[in-house]
Copies of this chain bind each other. A is one copy, B any other.
């Protein structure tokens, strides 16, 4: 088949040479959408979760929203500044993982790695679920197909990414800019309308919120000093709003994908991203509050909305779009399309980050080496496929529900943030001590990363306390498992490396050289194996027949003598019709009697052209090969015979075969191996000295 027409090539595009690696690097204006779609898109669900939690206590709690939003914005600013420092100090793209590894140690690094791995998976799951939400907000009739749509998006993303970074970058830049542009336009239009005196009315503005049995609402209504229940609810709202902070680290992990000067470009991109995110976050919270958006965990808590049980709840983004541009205006659909697309791009961030991280982990020996192999298109295909599979599981288990998925999300992010910042504090102190960093730079670093460590650590504690019972406990199950796996993988690879390393007393060479050729018939494939074995000039060579069928064994021995084969034939009895057991015992016995000899076992093997031919041949040689490889001193030589018969049995059209097992041209068996070698000897089980 033409290489270009193979399904794999159509799906992936043409193979890329290593030389293309540099060409795949990203300029800033492409890197921004690729790495910033995650933090930018989180304004689509961050504010929504914040408002939803506050609403649990009643509409009056929405008055706290601006305050909480301000804390989130402050936090975002500090984190952006902290990561600028990380980019500068560790431009190799290891991000928090590398910072922790170099400054604290392997164990801390593995905690970061497990947090990040989970985080990437959740980025994919949450972003796709939220994107699906926004599609459904625009087309409510799609509501019954939520999970199917989400899975479809996931598969599409995987496909695009297997094609490689560069092309996805170009394809992904436009929607992100569309999203940024349309959200900023929406905020601008909304603010302008408000200033000009027009009222913004969200579709849910008329619904009342039913407050039942909420301690916080009661505590607030009785007034008096703030009580624990109120504080807890506010902290929980803050923790949920922090979802808007996810993904900021992506740029720090992606520095190697930037064009030179990498550090400077990455830093500039980081700041641009921060400014955009802050603007959008503030704008959306403000417009949501002023247009009276009501969003509830359980839609039927919204009194006055009679269809709550049948119609999907409109996302906060959709409600603001509707309030600003009108319910079915073109711009409303533009906003929804932009939001949905940018959320998919956010999921895409993880498709860049996850394989990069797993490849770093593989290089450090903490993950299977297969994750280190770049595919045809220079991407780490195995990592991408793993990510897709796990995210698929998450979407199916949690039915693509954003609120349920998000519980597993933020904890990992802030674990990684906090450990990364603490690592940076050590970095600055060490640098200061060694004198490799100027006191001025170190002080600035210590201040920024110290503030970062303090704030992110505090958020980590708040999130853990407020979300633990709502699903975050699962993180405390998953992360230790990931940690355990990676830790032991590390141990395993180190042990393997020690074992196979050359050392001073490594010695080679065997004292004996024995070969056997497994035969049961005098036909071309088996004589070819014998011929190949003879031409390798072993010291001692036997043909060996396992007498699974005694009748057949006798017939074979007769044939052997009749044809005057000049090689000794050993017939090994097998009363239980087993194949490998008697052979292995025979070989072990031979080796025991002859010292540490090397034994070559020649297996004639059919290779076939069409898949269905496998049904017609016993796969004895495969099973035998696997067993023999465990026998001391044995090497296994497969001598193939390519069957062409299938060509003549014209059942289906057949693909052409790669190569052809061509026959030789000299007389058979003429190189006498040993004088008087035409001996047939039967080996009975009792003749073999069993090892007990």
Q: Which residues of A are in contact with B by a Cβ distance under 8 Å?
A: 15-19, 368-370, 373-374, 376, 488-489, 491-493, 495-496, 498-502, 506-511, 513, 522-525, 527-528, 531-532, 535-538, 550, 575-577, 584, 588, 596, 598, 600, 605, 607, 613, 615-618, 625, 627, 629-646, 648-649, 651, 657-671
Asked if A537 contacts B535 (CB within 8 A), the reply is no
Q: Which 9 A-B pairs have the closest CB atoms?
A: A509-B666, A495-B645, A508-B531, A629-B640, A500-B523, A508-B668, A17-B575, A637-B637, A631-B659
- Across-interface contacts of A662 in B (CB, < 8 A): 596, 632-633
Contact: A502 with B523, CB < 8 Å?
yes
- Out of B535, B588, B657, which one reaches A510, CB within 8 Å? B535
When the two chains form their complex, are residues A588 and B659 in contact, meaning their CB atoms are under 8 A apart? yes
7 contacts between A and B (CB under 8 A): A502-B527, A508-B527, A509-B667, A536-B537, A635-B638, A637-B637, A638-B638
Chain B residues closer than 8 Å to A646, beta-carbon distance? 492, 495
Contact A507 B657 (CB under 8 A): no
* In the bound complex, CA of A616 to CA of B369 (Å): 6
In the bound assembly, the distance between CA atoms of A531 and B370 in angstroms comes to 28
Complex contacts, A577 vs chain B, CB 8 Å: 18, 373-374, 376
Bound state CA distance, A668 and B506, in angstroms? 7
Interchain CB contact under 8 A, A667 and B369: no
Q: Is the CB of A645 within 8 A of B496?
A: yes
If A576-B15, A630-B657, A645-B496 touch, whether A668 touches B509 (CB-CB below 8 Å) is yes
Q: Are A668 and B531 in contact (CB under 8 A)?
A: no
Distance in angstroms from A415 CB to nearest chain B CB is 25
Q: Determine how close the nearest CB of chain B comes to the CB of A209; give it in whole angstroms.
A: 47
Taken together, the copies of this chain in the complex come to 2
Give Cα distance in the complex from A667 to B631, angstroms: 23
Q: A492-B645, A522-B502 are in contact. Are A665 and B507 (CB under 8 A)?
A: yes
Q: Knowing A507-B666, A632-B662 touch, does A492 contact B616 (C-beta < 8 A)? A: yes
CA distance A632 to B618 in the complex (A): 23
Q: Measured between alpha carbons, how far is A498 from B648 in the docked complex, in Å?
A: 11
> Please, how many angstroms separate the alpha-carbon atoms of A576 and B3 in the complex?
14
Closest to A527 in B: B508
Structural contact, A575 and B19, CB atoms closer than 8 A = yes
Q: Are A632 and B649 interface neighbours, CB within 8 A?
A: no
A524–B499 Cα distance when bound, in Å, is 8
Is the CB–CB distance between A638 and B659 below 8 Å? Answer: no
Q: Which chain B residues lie closer than 8 Å to A616 at the CB level?
A: 368-369, 489, 492-493, 496
B635 touches A659 (CB 8 A): no
Question: Which B residues are CB-close (under 8 A) to A537?
Answer: 536-537
Chain B: minimal CB distance from A614 (Å): 10
What residue of chain B has the Cβ atom nearest to residue A528's Cβ?
B508
Instruction: Kindly state the separation between the CA atoms of A17 and B576 in the bound complex, as whole angstroms.
Output: 5
Question: Closest CB of chain B to A511's CB: distance in Å?
Answer: 7
Question: When A630-B607, A645-B492 are in contact, do A507 and B663 touch as well, CB less than 8 Å?
Answer: yes
> Closest CB-CB distance, A616 to chain B, in whole Å?
5
Asked if A658 meets B645 with Cβ closer than 8 Å, knowing A510-B664, A532-B598, A616-B368, the reply is: no
Cα of A507 to Cα of B640 in the assembled complex, Å? 17
Q: Are B524 and A502 in contact (CB under 8 A)?
A: yes
What B residues does A663 contact at CB under 8 A?
A: 506-508
Residues of B within 8 A of A499 (CB): 524, 643-645
Q: Which residues of B contact A618 (CB under 8 A)?
A: 369-370, 373
Contacts of A495 in B (CB 8 A): 645-646, 648-649
Q: A17-B576, A615-B368 are in contact. Are A661 and B636 (CB under 8 A)?
A: no
CB distance from A533 to the nearest CB of B (A): 9
Contacts of A498 in B (CB 8 A): 645
Q: How far is the CA of A312 from the CA of B666 in the complex (A)?
A: 77
Within 8 Å CB of A493, what residues of B? 616
Most central of A550, A598, A641 by chain B CB within 10 Å: A598
Query: With A and B bound together, what is the CA distance between A498 and B524 in angstroms?
Result: 10
Residues from chain B with a CB closer than 8 A to the CB of A522 are 502
- Contact at B508–A649, with CB atoms within 8 Å? no
CA of A501 to CA of B631, assembled, Å: 33
A523 to B506: give the CA distance in the assembly, Å.
10
Report which of B373, B636, B649, B666 forms a contact with A637, defined as CB distance below 8 A.
B636
